[in-house]
Amino acid sequence: MAPLCTIKWYSDPTLSTLIHSGNEFEPERAKTDTFYVSQTLNGVQSWPKEVIIHVVQLPETNLVLKNDTLSAPWGDQFYYQWLYRGDSINAYNNYVLVDTTGNYENFSVIISEGVCRTVIDGIDIITSIESETSAYISYYPNPTTTKGYVTINGAGQRDVTFQMFNMQGSEVFRKKSNFHADDEAVDMTHLAAGLYLLRVIGENFQETIRVIKE
C-alpha cells in the first residue's frame, strides 16, 4: 500500500455511508452483496470502485453409495467434475456408476459454482431405501414401451422434478410437477430402447431408479 494512502469501504456508490476503513474488510453477513471502495492519497480521494462479493453455499456432506450408483449432493447451479484416482473422467452429473466390488473408494467429485469449488471424497454407504429417505418411489410398468408411472409414498409432496438420463449421462427428459396423490406419467415414447436413470427430486428427498424402455 502506498504511503499516506487510506482505503475506505462504503455501502453505496455516492460514498455517503462509510462501513469500514482499512485494506481488508470482512462482511458481517455471509451473502452476496456489493460494496464500493475508494482510496485517498495525499488528501485526494479516488472515484469509487465497485466490489461484488458472491457467496456460494457449497455442500459439506459425503457422497452416497447405493447399489452401483455413487451420488453427490444436488444443486441446480452446481457443476460436477468426477475424478477417478485424482484424474478427471467423462462424468458431469451429480452421480456416477461404479463397481460395487470395491473400487468406489477411488472416486471423488469437484463441485463448483462460479469460481467457488469444493472436493468431496467421503462416502456413506446406503444399504436400504428406508435409511436413505422417508419417501419410497415406485415406477411401473418396468420395462415399458410407451409411458411409465411414478408413485411417491409421501403425503403432501409438492414441486417435484423428474429428470431422466441415458447411460452416457446425458439428460433426455425433464419436467416439473405439482405432485398430488395421483401417479405421475413419464412419457418415454420418443426415447430409444435401452436402460435409463430416472431421478425424482422432491422437497425433502431425492431418489434415482432404473427404468427400461423396450
Point out which residues pair with 173 in neighbouring strands: 164
Segments in the chain below pLDDT 70: 1-4, 29-30, 99-102, 126-136, 154-158, 167-169, 179-182
Q: Could you report the per-residue pLDDT of 124-149, keeping only the tens digit for each?
A: 775 543 333 334 678 888 888 888 88
Model pTM score: 0.49
154-171 b/e with 16+ CB inside 10 Å = b? beebeebbbbbbbeebee
Quote the CA–CA distance of 16 and 35 in Å, as a whole number: 12
Contact predicate 63/70, CB 8 Å: yes
pLDDT in the model for residue 185: 85
Number of C-beta neighbours around residue 127 at 10 A: 10
Quote the CA–CA distance of 81 and 104 in Å, as a whole number: 16
Q: Could you report the per-residue pLDDT of 40-59, keeping only the tens digit for each?
A: 888 888 888 999 887 788 88
Which domains, from first to last, does the chain contain?
5-53 (no CATH), 63-126 (2.60.40.10), 132-213 (2.60.40.1930)
pLDDT in the model for residue 169: 67
